[in-house]
Structure 1
Amino acid sequence: MGDEPIPISALQHYVYCPRQCALIHVEGVWEENLFTLRGRRAHEGVDVPEGMVREGVRVEYALPLFSERLGLVGRADVVEFHGGAPYPVEHKVGPRRARLADEVQLCAQALCLEEMLGVEVPRGALFYRASRRRREVRFTPELRALVERTAVEVRALLESARLPPPVHDARCRDCSLVDACMPHLAAWSLEELH
C-alpha cells in the first residue's frame, strides 16, 4: 500500500466495521444486497461529472477529491458552492438517521476540499433519499480528529493485509458481506468457550 491514496469510502467502511473494510479493500470482496443495489441506483443520478447553477448556487456532481496530507482520494456526490464556500452533500439511500461512519465520510470530503481549495469548510449535509431530507453535519474539531485517526488506522489495516476477527452484532443484519464475513462463527466460538 505504501504511499497509495486510500479511498474515502474505506474510512466509512472502517468506522462501520473494520472487518468489512478489510474484506472490501484488502480481500477485494463485494456482494450485492438490497441496500447496496439501492445505493448504486441512487448514486447513478449524481455520479456523472457535471456542473450547473441552481437558484444562484453553483452545484458540482461527482467532484474528484484528494488530500495529499491525509493520503485520501475519492469523489463527492454533490458539492454546492454558497457564495464560493463549498458545502459537500453525501447521498444515502436509507432512512434519516445519525451514523458516525457517514459523518466521517462526509468530513473526510470536507478536509479534502479544504486542502484542494484553500478555504474552510465548516459543515455539509447527508441527504437521505428515502425521506428526501437533509441532515446537516458540523465538522467539529472532534470529528476532524476522528477522520485523521481513522485515516491512519485504515492505512495500517491495509498495509498489514490482515483480516480483523468477525463481530456478531446488529450491524451484520444490514451488511452485504455477511456471507463472506461469517460473523456467526465468532458467536459459535464464543459459545464453545463458555
Structure 2
Amino acid sequence: MLIWQESYFQSNPDTVRGDIAHQAVDRGGTLTGRAGARVWRSLPVHNDRLGMHGICDTVHLSADGPVPVEHKSGGYRPGGPADLQVAAQVLCLREMFGRPIPHGEVFAGRTRRRYTVTVDAALEAVVADSVEQLRQQIADPQLPPPVNDARCKRCSLQPGCIPEIAGHSRIDLFAPRPVGDHD
C-alpha cells in the first residue's frame, strides 16, 4: 500500500536482482521455446469478471493451450505469493481464451526449475477474495498498520514503513519515561 497510496519505493539488492533477472522477459515479443512452444514475453492480460489486469512474464502456448510462467529470481515457496500471482494470471487467460487452463508455473531462479501451480476452485476463491480486499484497502485513505514480522528484514519498503513502531502511537513513542525505565 505504500507504493500505491504514498508513491514510496526504495530499491534494495533483492529488487535490483529481480530487475536484472527480468530484463529478458520485460523486452516483450515472441520466441520459440521448449518442444516448439511459442512463448510470449510480457503479455498483457485481464479478467473483466474480477476486474483485474496485469502482465504475464511469459506465456507458453503449446497444443495443450496457454500456460503462464511467473519468473522469480529467488526460491519458490509452495502456497506463497507467487502461487497467488500465477493463479490470477491463469484466471485472466481462461477468460481471454475462453478455455480451461488447469495450471500455471513458477520459475525459480535459485533452483533453475519450474513448479506447477494447479488452479482449482479453492485457489480461485482466494484470488477473488484477495482482489476484493485489495480494492477495499485502495479505497481506504488510511494505510494499514505494518505487520512487523520476519518478512520485514529484507523488505525494500522497510525504511519508509518503519515496522518496528507498529502498535505504538506517536504519544507512546515520545512520552517522557520515568528515570531508570530502559529497554
Q: TM-score surpassing 0.5? A: yes
Match of 1:149 among 129, 148, 165: 129
Matched residue type, 1:160:
D
- Find the aligned partners of 1:95 and 1:111 in 2 and give their Cα distance: 24
Aligned counterpart, 1:172: 152
Q: Residues 96 and 133 of structure 1 are in contact (CA less than 8 Å); yes or no, is this contact kept in structure 2?
A: no
| Paired residues, number | 169
| 2:19 aligned residue (33, 37, 40) | 40
Distance 2:59 2:95 in 1: 15
1:30: which partner in 2?
9
Is 49-58 or 30-39 further displaced after alignment? 49-58
In 2 relative to 1, CA 35–99 (structure 1 residues): closer, same or farther, beyond 3 Å? farther
Using CA pairs under 8 Å that are at least 6 residues apart, name the structure with larger relative contact order, 1 or 2: 1
In the alignment, the residues of structure 2 paired with residue 187 and residue 149 of structure 1 have an alpha-carbon distance, to the nearest angstrom, of 26
Please say if 1:86 is aligned against 2:66. yes
State the Cα deviation string for residues 121-149 of structure 1 (Å, max 9, x = none): 11111101122111111112111100000
- TM-score, normalised by the number of residues in structure 1: 0.82
Structure with bigger gyration radius: 2
The percent of aligned pairs where both chains have the same amino acid is: 39
Q: What do you get for the CA RMSD once the two structures are aligned?
A: 1.5
* Alpha-carbon offset, residue 99 of structure 1: 4.8
Confirm or deny: 8 A CA contact 1:30 1:177 kept in the other structure. Answer: yes
Q: What is the CA–CA distance in structure 2 between the aligned matches of 1:57 and 1:145, rounded to whole Å?
A: 30
Work out whether 1:112 is the aligned partner of 2:92: yes
Specify the alignment match of 1:63 in structure 2.
43
Q: Which amino acid aligns with 1:27?
A: E
**For 2:110, what is the secondary structure of its paired residue?**
coil
SS of residue in 2 equivalent to 1:35: helix
Q: CA deviation at 1:96?
A: 3.1
TM-aligned CA deviation for residue 161 of structure 1:
2.5
The unaligned stretches of length 5 or more in structure 2 are 173-183
Distance in 2 (CA, whole Å) between partners of 1:164 and 1:148 is: 20
Give the letter aligned to residue 21 of structure 2. A
Moved >4 Å (runs of 4+)? none
Q: Cα–Cα, structure 1 residues 60 and 137, in superposed 2: closer, same or farther, change >3 Å?
A: same
Change beyond 3 A, Cα 1:188–1:153: closer
- SS of 2:25's equivalent? coil
Counterpart of 1:106, as a letter, is V
Q: String of CA shifts for 1:43-100, please: whole Å, max 9, x gaps.
A: 1110112112233211111101111111111100010112151111000011233252
